Amino acid sequence: MICQNCGQRPASLHYTKIVNGAKTELHLCEECAKEQGESSETEHSFMSAAGGYTIQDLLSDLLNMDQPSTTGNAGKKQPKKANTTRPLTCDNCGLTYKQFTQSGRLGCAHCYHAFESKLTPVFRRVHSGNTHHTGKVPKHRHEKLYAQRELEEKRRQINIFVQNEEFEKAAELRDEIRALEKQFQGREEDS
């Protein structure tokens, strides 16, 4: 088989990619595969993947699915809307929502607020509907939340100790929790 891209060298790499049920086959020689691999970004691939369909591609497809008007009959719908609404734009960095859907990338931290309404459905699909971070908190700038998470973690741990009947450890932890709670309340009153 001859490489689909250059039509000269024999194809040595064969890929099948299935997107929304549509199957695409790719047959490339190593040189063309390498070229394509370099232009498509994949994570932790041993060799740069050729024609790899990344999560970012998926995201971009999802976002564009919400906007059927950008393809095909764009000409018909656009004028009506354009007169009434300004395109959705981040007022901090100037990124438009359209630029975001095309690239799948945001321009700055503020974009999360600017496009909030549009992002929630994305989280539903990409992050199983979760909209709240429950993990690590930077210690230096978010002290209060950090202390709160620490408390939650200790409370979780104490239940495990009690379940395992490790009462001495549980008692120790209880004292730690009380001390933390006091500190926490103290800080609340200060602020």
Interface with another protein by CB under 8 A: which residues?
Answer: 9, 12-13, 15-18, 29-31, 34, 37-53, 55-56, 59, 93, 95, 99, 103-109, 112, 119, 122-123, 126-142, 145
Q: How far is the CB of 87 from another protein (least distance, A)?
A: 16
Choose between 76 and 90: whose C-beta lies nearer to another protein.
90
Concatenated DSSP letters for 74-98?
HHHHHHHHHHH-PPPB-TTT--BHH
Choose between 127 and 182: whose C-beta lies nearer to another protein.
127
Amino acid at residue number 138: P
Give 50: exposed, middle or buried? Use CB within 10 Å, 0-12, 13-18, 19+: buried
Q: In the chain, which ranges are E strands?
A: 13-19, 22-28
Choose between 17 and 187: whose C-beta lies nearer to another protein.
17
Choose between 56 and 70: whose C-beta lies nearer to another protein.
56
Q: How far is the CB of 67 from another protein (least distance, A)?
A: 16
Choose between 106 and 170: whose C-beta lies nearer to another protein.
106
Q: Which helix (H) or strand (E) holds 48?
A: none
Q: How far is the CB of 172 from another protein (least distance, A)?
A: 21
Helix 116-126 and helix 55-65, axial crossing angle in degrees, nearest 10: 130
CB 66 within 8 A of CB 41: no
Task: Say how far apart CA 137 and CA 158 lie, in whole Å.
Answer: 21
Q: How far is the CB of 36 from another protein (least distance, A)?
A: 10
Q: How far is the CB of 162 from another protein (least distance, A)?
A: 20
Give 33: exposed, middle or buried? Use CB within 10 Å, 0-12, 13-18, 19+: buried
